[in-house]
Structure formats: structure tokens, C-alpha cells
Structure 1
């Protein structure tokens, strides 16, 4: 029966290989179970509820990807998208988390319509490749900054705005140890380096707490009781419905929220799925990834599910490459990954007790390092490109806003292009976006 569904022989694989690959992908992605609750809690959402929403939405989305698209790709709330959700849409723009969930729902519907209508290729051709790369790298810098700030390695300073914190303080020291351990694991090509780095860091944090050198909010006495009394928190389920009233009360605000979510989701998902499809060997004679539209469809549905159960946008994870590297070629690997995500809800007390901001800092910094690798493909010899990418990165960090960083990048790109006299080469989409972003930057709509 499984062979009829996943066609193991046709794809040159077997059940054992797919199961092992699915487990490997889960371990590579499992850090999100600790990171996502920590980040969304900063936006006022209950960490326990976010954990269950993360596990359930990731599990369902992975299973849909495996059964519908037959791709060995895992899905979960996206890194970068959760930062956009919390620090831009909720904190910077002043929206309740219910409104942010409603925006995720609307943006996922739009992404679904883009996929069904076949507009994906047309949209891809509107935005310059270098701007896409710059935005992806900028989000990487932003994630690393969030991790360092949350752990106390970077602190606010009335004289210089930011400064380095006391590295001998328990939270900062634990985070620094975790970053170094995880980096060593990555350099040594240890599978699921981020996850195992977090686990070891959490264990070190427990030892520090045991000897009276408390790190963050880890409290040894609370852990045994929490493990015994596992409570399923469904308080976020359907919360997006309460956000629709506020969402449509301010149309300019709505446009900026939804555009930012669709933009980041679209290009992040496109790059990830096409890359993973090629790695799997799903390429036809024309060089196109076979079945990629079903994969995009599954990804869009995953985003809708995430908003319904109560988390930021669910999307495909590049960490799926670890499972593909283990030989995964069918959707069974994704199904196995999904089942493990669902089973992880029974470990909520352990994860929420151990994975504090000091522990998750390592994941944010390492993921940030990986994301800035995109800069190597930017045309730095072009002052137009260099200035737009630079302003995207610096303003995203300093303004503490992903959408503001994107806005600065487009505006600078348009102005610099016009200054070179090549304004006729700009697509109509760039003109429209530049005007919209100028209004956004100067009038704060």
C-alpha cells in the first residue's frame, strides 16, 4: 500500500530510508519548538499555547506535503516570518496578536490564490534577484540581533543606543556557550546541529542552576511537577477570527501587514522549494522541478492551518535538506516528520522549561549566519544594488522592523536607478512598490 502511494521502487528508495530521513529532518527542525514560543511570547501570546500551535500546525502541514505533493519537505513556522509577526506587526505597528493571526490567514489565502492562478513566475520576474537576496540576508542579521539581545549579550545604552552586556552574567554566558557549541557542531557537519546544540546548552543551564548560578528563567524545582501535569493549551485556536475587526479598520495598516507577509513568504518559499526539489532530483527535461505547484499548494495550506491554530506563517524548511541528504525521495519522509511534530506535544513541559531565551539564542544566531550566505551572489560592483542591499540590512536592524527594512531597500533601489538614467528598465511593479513605500516611510500609514 505504501509503495502504491509513494512509489519507492520508482524513486529508488525504500521505507527504512524514508523513515530514517524523516526522523533526521525532524531533529534538524525541532529547534523551532523552543524558539517559536519564546519569540511569539514577546508579542503577548501564551508560550504554552504557541508550543501546541507550532507542533500541531507543523505536523499537519508536513503530512499534507507528504501526501499531496509527495515531497520529502518539512514545514513549520518560518524563521524570519515569526520575527516579522512579533517584532514588526505586533510590537512596532501596535497590533494585537489576534490581528496579526488574521493577517497571516489573509496572506496565506493570497499566497494560495497566487499558486492556483499561476502568477508565481510573473511575480518572480518583477522583483530584482539582488533585492530578494538582500532581504533574505537582512532577515538573517535581524534574527541574530534578536538572539543576542534576548540573551543579554547586547543591551540598550542611553549613550550609544546599544552596547555589549556583561558576558559573565548567567543568561549571557549560557547563550555564548550555546552559540559556540552549535557553531562547532555545524563546522563539524553534525546532523541536526542546531537542535543538539540547544539540548546541550539547556543541560548546561540546568547544571548552572543546580549550583546556584541561575541562567534566565530556568528553575529546577518547577520541572518535575510540570512534566507530571501536562496541560494541552488550545487558547489560541481560532483567535484569528477575533482579529478581523481590527484588521480591516485600518486599510493602509492592513495592506502593509499583508504585503510584508506575502512578500517574505513568497520568496522564502520559492527559493526553498525549488532548491529542495532540485536536490531530490525532481527535474524534467526542461530543467523545471516536477510537481512543484503541488508543493506550493501544500505550503499555502500550511500557512492557513498555522493561523487557525494560533501561530505565525508555516512554510517549507531548508533544513529538510538533511533528510534529503540521508536519501529521502518521497513524501513518506515528510509524513514521518509530521507525526513526530504531533507527538512532541507530550514533551511541552520539558521544552518550555528548558528552552529559555538564552538557549534559543544559539538557534537565532546560527540561522542568521546561514541566511547571510546569500550575500555572496549579490552584484556588489553595482552601486545601485549595493546601496539598496546595504540600506535594507542596516535599516531592518536599526529600525527593529522587517517591513521598514524592505521599504528602504525598494525606495533606495528606485531612486538610485532613476539617478543612473535607467528608469525605463524598472518594471511597473517596482514603480508601484516604491511609491507605496515612500508613503509608508514618511507618513507612517
Structure 2
């Protein structure tokens, strides 16, 4: 049956290898079980329900990817998108988390339509590579700021906006230790480095009495507080357009980059650079995002950590299905997730931020007409506390600078139209 479903022989793999690859991928991305409830819980959402929604969304998304596209790519609520959901849409703009879930559902539906109608290629190809790298780096810097805040390393300062926290407090010190540990383990190629770092800091915190131990295993909490609680009508408000666009835009490029990156490593791409079944993979991803919003979590997306499973030999959708099964098993570890404090998940956020900002290395810094929009995009996200604002500023800066410099060949209709729409929004609307 497995041979028929996943064509293991044709991909040069075995059931044992796929099982090991699935376990490897799960261990490298399982940190989301602790981080996602911590972040989304700040909106007022029930933390237990978010934990269950995270497990189910990851299981559903990975299963759909494995069965529909037969790719060894796992899915879960995306880092960066969950921070945008909480800190920008809910806490900064003041929308309810129900409305934010509605925006996630609408953006996922649009993503699904773009994938079915094959408009995705036109959109992706219309955005210059430097801007795509800048968006990823900006999200990384945004996550870094959130991580440093959660760790207590960066605090409010009325004179300078931000300042250094109390380095004598145990929380910041444990967060620093956790980050060093994660980076060192990753450098040593230890599987599950991020999760080990989170659990190590949590164990120390419990041992010295900083955080209460709530247990390890129990029956899953109720999903009712978040299940089908999305407010789609509220998300259709004009003020939510840029929010929906940001969810869509980031998910679109995040998925495209992840699919191409993992597929290259797995040897799934053709000689002409074409990725077979790309449409199926994107449809699976958008379907997972819609399902996640119904369950009660931010955008579900493909995880670049899937590359670890590919390195372990994963080549088919069986790897993703194994990850799905493990996320279902994780449902029974809610007490452990509830024990993890914010300063234990902060190092994981900071580590992901390091990985995301690495895209800046691809920028041609000698071309000031590219470097300037990239820096504006990347800095605007953390400094305005909004991914949407960073994208908007980047598009506007790119079009204006290229136009004034006479570099019209670097422009296209899609870029100009989007930049004009952002200018209109800032002129007559509110920043998002």
C-alpha cells in the first residue's frame, strides 16, 4: 500500500528511511508546539486550545502535503506570521483575534485561488529577488525584537524608546544561555537543537523554582474556545485589506522559497529548474492554512526545517505523513507545553531570526538603488512593529528610487500598481 501511495522505489527510498526522516523533521520543528501557544496566547486566546489547534493544523497540513503532493515537506503554523497576527493585527491595530483568524482564512482562500488559477507564478516573478530577501530578513529582525522583549533583554525607555533590561535577573540570563546552547548544538548538527534548548532552559527554571511544573502527559485540552471562532465578516472591513495582503504575500513567498529549497536538496527538481507538482503543493499548503484558521491558529505554512528530514533520506510524502502522526501524538503533552516560560521560547525566536536575516547576504550592496529599498524594508518591520508596513515601504521605495534613477528596466506593471496602492492607503487610510 505504501509503495502504491508514495512510489518509494521510484524515489530510491525505503519505509525505514522515510520513518527516520519524519522523526528528524518533527524534532527540528517541534519547538512550534511551545512557541505558538505562547505567542498567540497574548491575544487573549485560550492557550490550551491554541496548543491543540497547533497540533491538529500541523498534522492536517503535513498529511495533505504528503498525500496530495507526495513531497517530504511538513507544515505547521508559521513563525513570523504568528508574530504578525499577535503583535501587529491584535495588539497594535486593536482587532480582535477572531477578526485576525478571519483575515487568515480569507488570505488562505485567495492563496488557494491563485494556485488553482496559476496566477502565483506571475506574482512571484514580478517581485524582484532583493525585495523578497528583504521581506524575509525584515521578518527575522521583527522576530528578533519580539524575542529580546520576551527575554527581558530589551525594555521600554521613555528617553530612547528602548533600552537594556536587567541582566541580573534570572529570566534574561536563562534566555541568553538558551540561545547560546541552541546555536552551539546546531553548529554540532545535533537533531532537535531548538527543542533541546527550550527544554533545557525550562528544566533549569523549574529546578530553581522560577516556573511551576505542570506535568508532562494528560488528555488534550478542549479545542472549543478557538474552534470555528473566526470572524470573516469583520475581516472584510476596508481597514483589513493590507493585513490580508500581508498574510497572503508572506505566505506566498515563504512557501515558494521553502518548496524550491527543500526540493533542490531532495533532488526533486527537473534539469530545467521546474518543480513537478508545484501546483499540488501550493494547493495543499493553502488548504492547510484554511483548515488552521478554522481550528484557531495563525497561518499554517511549509517549514524549511523539512530539509533536515531530506538530509536524513526523506524523499516522499511518507515523511510528511510520519510528521503528521507525531503531531497527533503530541496532543497528549499539553502540560509540558504549559510549563515552558516565555524566556525559554525567546531563544528559539532569536535563532529563527538569525536564519531569516541570512538572506541579506544575497543583496548586491554595491547597487545603492537595490540596497536602499532592502534596508528600508527590513528596518521598517521591527521599527513600525508591522510586516505589512515593511512590505509597503519597500515597494514604494523600490519604485520611486528606480524611477528617479532612470532604471525603468527594473520596474514592471505589478510593482508600480502595488506601490501606487500602498501610497493611496497611507494617504487616505491608516498604517497597518
TM range, normalised to the smaller chain?
over 0.9
Alpha-carbon distance in 2 for matches of 1:229, 1:2:
31
* 1:279 and 2:265 aligned: yes
Query: What secondary structure, in the 3-state scheme, does the structure 1 residue paired with 2:163 have?
Result: strand
The CA deviation at 1:425 is: 4.3
Q: Secondary structure at the match of 1:118?
A: coil
Residues of 2 paired with 1:228 and 1:261: CA distance? 34
> 2:145 maps to what in 1?
145
State which drifts further: 295-304 or 87-96. 87-96
Equivalent residues of 2:55, 2:331 under 8 A apart? yes
What corresponds to 1:108 in structure 2?
108
Q: Which residue of 2 aligns with 1:9?
A: 9
Q: Judge conservation of contact 1:112–1:300 (CA < 8 Å) in 2.
A: yes
In structure 1, the partner of 2:212 is 219
**Contact 2:54–2:297, Cα closer than 8 Å, also in 1:** yes
User: Of 365, 368, 371, which residue of structure 2 is paired with 1:386?
Assistant: 371
Question: Cα deviation per residue 1:265-316 (whole Å; 9 max; x = unaligned)?
Answer: 0001000001111211112242211222211111111101110100000000
SS at match of 1:238: coil
User: 1:315-337 CA distances to partner (integer Å, 9 max, x unpaired)?
Assistant: 00000001000000111110010
2:225 is matched with: 235
1:421 and 2:411 are equivalent in the alignment: no
Q: Secondary structure at the match of 2:366?
A: coil
SS at match of 1:162: strand
Verify the 8 A CA contact 1:274 1:292 in the aligned structure 2.
Answer: no
- Do the aligned partners of 1:52 and 1:234 also contact (CA within 8 Å) in 2? no
Q: Which residue of 2 aligns with 1:244?
A: 232
1:184 aligns with 2:184: yes
**Range that drifts further, 434-443 or 196-205:** 434-443
Deviation per residue, 1:29-74 (Å, 9 max, x gap): 1000111111111222111111110000100111111111110111
| Candidates 320, 323, 338, aligned match of 1:334 | 320
Residue 138 of structure 1: how far off its partner (Å): 0.7
CA deviation digits over 1:382-425, x for unaligned, max 9?
11111111111222111111111111111111111121022464
Name the SS for the 1:156 alignment partner: strand
Do the aligned residues in 1 keep the contact of 2:112 with 2:287 (CA within 8 Å)? yes
Range 181-190 or range 433-442, more displaced: 433-442
Q: Distance in 2 between matches of 1:55 and 1:229?
A: 13
Contact 1:277 1:292 in 2 (8 A): no
Distance in 2, Cα, partners of 1:341 & 1:108: 22
SS in 2 for 1:328: coil
Alignment of 1:126-165 (within 5 A): 126-165=126-165
State yes or no: 1:437 paired with 2:422. Answer: yes
Determine the C-alpha separation between the residues in 1 that align with 2:318 and 2:171: 40
Report the counterpart of residue 82 of structure 1 in structure 2. Answer: 82
In the other structure, the counterpart of 2:286 is 300
- Secondary structure of 1:8 counterpart: coil
The answer on whether the counterparts of 2:218 and 2:333 sit within 8 Å (CA) in structure 1 is no
- Residue 92 of structure 2 is matched in structure 1 by 92
Question: Alignment partner of 1:108: what SS?
Answer: helix
Q: 1:322 aligns with which of 302, 308, 323?
A: 308
After superposition, the Cα gap between the structure-2 partners of 1:230 and 1:65, relative to the gap in structure 1 and judged at 3 Å, is closer
Q: What is the RMSD of the two structures over their aligned residues, measured on CA atoms?
A: 1.4
TM-score by length of 2: 0.96
Deviation per CA, 1:354-390, whole angstroms, max 9, x where unpaired?
x221010011000000111111111211111111111
| Structure 2 SS opposite 1:11 | coil
Provide the C-alpha distance between the structure 2 equivalents of 1:140 and 1:387, rounded to a whole number of angstroms.
Answer: 18
User: Is 2:364 the partner of 1:364?
Assistant: no
Question: Which one of 347, 358, 382 corresponds to residue 397 of structure 1?
Answer: 382
- In structure 1, the gaps of 5 or more residues are none
Partner SS for 2:189:
coil
Measured in 2, the distance between the counterparts of 1:272 and 1:228 equals 34
Q: CA deviation at 1:177?
A: 1.1
Question: How far 1:254 sits from its partner (Å)?
Answer: 2.6
**Deviating more after overlay: 74-83 vs 408-417:** 408-417
For 1:125, the equivalent position in structure 2 comes to 125
Relative to 1, partners in 2 of residues 1:48 and 1:325: Cα closer, same or farther, differing over 3 Å?
same
